[in-house]
Chain A
Amino acid sequence: MVVKLGVPSKGRLMEKTFEWFAQAGVTLSRAGAEREYSGVVEGIDGLELVLLSASEIPRELAAGRIHLGVTGSDLVRDKLAAWDSKVMEIAPMGFGHADLIIAVPKAWVDVDTLDDLDAAAAAFRARHGFRLRIATKYHHLVREFLKTNGVADYQLVDSQGATEGTVKNLTAEAIADITSTGETLRANHLKILNCEPVHKSQATLFKSRTAAWSDDTRATMVALKEMLGMGD
């Protein structure tokens, strides 16, 4: 048996992940042609590279089909119910930083905080007859956050892309989305609420709590952890 490591199959996240492992002497690369989704591992025995869409990695970890996986901490928390019973964080990797934030129109001079948002939502519902809409694709994280902070009279509407445009298009009054620089928000006349982000995300190496382990894979894991400077 081998230890299966799931890594995002393309883009900056894949490259940065390869660099991060390379620093520890584990060389990951794609096999053969540019479009082929299989990987090569050098520098350690018993580790297999599985290239996957970043958004599928949480599910694969939870199902135990991969032992290790690299993905954003936001995706794990949003997609897995009781995430910490299914996966554990081994190492934050120091890249892919992004904050999940709530933003409202800049013209809302009266709204800067969650208190303000809650008060505005109450008045909005009374005036318009429906709950203030927040567009997002991070339903679970945003709902938990607003519940913890006691915000009421809002509803989440699903937005899988171009979320910053939903307010102008009248399909939402506010948004919750990932941002790293805030430029898209400013360009769309939105401002970030002045509170802790819903979640501060970064690329993270996760270990599945449900995958099957054998003596072989345990030995590989010990060797890998030592190379990563995380010997127990």
Chain B
Amino acid sequence: MPRTDIPKAAVRAEAARLKSGFEAKGAHPVEMDILLPAEVLLDLYGEDIRARAYMTTDPDRGEMMLRPDFTVPVVQTHMSDGAEPARYTYAGEVFRKQEVMPERANEYVQVGYEVFDGANPADADAEVFAAFSDALAGYDLRAATGDIGILVAAVHGLKTTERRRSALLRHIWRPRRFRALMTRFSEGGTDLRQHSLERVTANLAEAEAPFIGLRTQSEIDARILALREDANEPPISEAEIELLDDILSLKETVPHVLSALRDIVVDMPAISDAVTRLSRRADAMAARGVDVETLEFEASYGRTSMEYYDGFVFGFYAEGRPDLPPVATGGRYDALTAVLGQGRSIPAVGGVMRPGLMLALKGDA
């Protein structure tokens, strides 16, 4: 087991050291509130955040949350008064309920580095990854990388209705539901779609129930119309489903993945730009001294735990210790800035690391 008795003062000192490392790279140090208004976080993450964050109530401000991560407040601060380009670093506690794994810390220190710079996104990705890679050198860690942008581009390129594409995009971060939707929209789902429509038609024929609640007749009618249209719509072709499957199952070193993706581009030109971005990022990483030849890339990486990361994603894991949470995670979250920016959006990429875990692993070695 890693040591759990690392004194807080030691963790804080290590955090300060890491933070000044980011400052030396040009990051501006920022401080964030610990007690945050819950509304924005709840609207962003939904019910999942309630299972993970500590909630409390202020008599005047309503529901508040103990800071579950820094990204949202840092983005909000930047969107309201930051000039571009900007680089930020911070260190402080975050609080997470551990319902599933109670042995994990529910209060721990994160050190983060966030880059708001749209000039050269591929290089900004590489800059953040290299900064983390450098700070974590000397630990026996495995780096995992991925790129949600490739899957998003593939879905955008499907030759089917806008409604189906948005349904799939909405569930990119829920692999099980995404898979169910793929089945539903495929040749094999034709009966299922027909059956849905018949079921609803049968319900309509039954004795009418009174309308209760906020959801109106027109909303129900709109959904019935959608089901009717979808039942008559031709399925997504087997060829396209196979290409999606090929992309989802990619797990190899970056050069191998790039070569596989270039083959897929021939049949699915829609992902061409996303593949070019991956290739540029790989070049930028190599230029910054990252060993790209052996770097792992998994097209599905980051789909389950990192909603709002919508491009490059990465994580660093203690080798042979699947029981431990990742030592560092990060990625690109342009979509988050769009949601929080009320119309404005800023290309942004960043990550966090856990000095407490790093010290514990060092003590183990």
**Which of A121-159 touch B at CB < 8 Å?**
122-124, 127-128, 130-132, 139-140, 143-144, 146-156
Q: Across the interface, name the chain A residue whose C-beta is closest to B51.
A: A143
Interface extent on A, as a size class?
35 or more
Partner among B102, B210, B224 whose Cβ is within 8 Å of the Cβ of A109: B224
B214 at the interface (CB under 8 A from A): yes
> For chain B residues 234-261, which have a beta carbon within 8 Å of chain A?
none
B215 interface residue per 8 A CB criterion: yes
Q: How far is the CA of A108 from the CA of B215 in the complex (A)?
A: 9
- For the complex, is A115 an interface residue (Cβ under 8 Å from B)? yes
Does B42 sit within 8 A of A, measured CB to CB?
Answer: yes
Among candidates A119, A123, A143, A189, residue contacting B50 with C-beta atoms closer than 8 Å: A143
Interface string of A14-45 (1 = CB under 8 A from B): 00000000000000000000000000000000
- Contact status B214-A110, CB under 8 Å: no
* A106 contacts B by Cβ under 8 Å: yes
Q: Which of B47, B167, B176, B211 contacts A107 (CB 8 A)?
A: B211
A138 to B359, CA, bound (A): 39
Asked if A105 and B227 sit within 8 Å, CB to CB, the answer is: no
| A107 touching B214 in the complex, CB below 8 Å, given contacts A82-B101, A150-B180, A153-B46 | no
A115 to B222, CA, bound (A): 16
Give the residues from 78 to 97 in chain A that come closer than 8 angstroms, CB to CB, to chain B.
Answer: 81-82, 85
Contact between B176 and A143, CB atoms less than 8 A apart:
no
A120 at the B interface (CB under 8 A): yes
Complex Cα spacing A106 to B212, Å: 9
Report A-chain residues with C-beta under 8 Å of the C-beta of B171: 150, 152
Q: How far is the CA of A144 from the CA of B178 in the complex (A)?
A: 18
Our pick among B101, B180, B206, B211 for the contact of A115 (Cβ within 8 Å) is: B180
B209: A residues at CB distance < 8 A: 105-107, 189
Q: Which residues of B contact A (CB under 8 A)?
A: 42-43, 46-48, 50-51, 97-102, 167, 170-171, 174, 176-178, 180, 184, 196, 199-200, 203-204, 206, 208-215, 219-220, 222-224, 226-227
Which A residues are closer than 8 A to B by beta carbons?
A: 81-82, 85, 105-110, 112, 115-116, 118-120, 122-124, 127-128, 130-132, 139-140, 143-144, 146-156, 167-168, 170, 172-173, 188-189
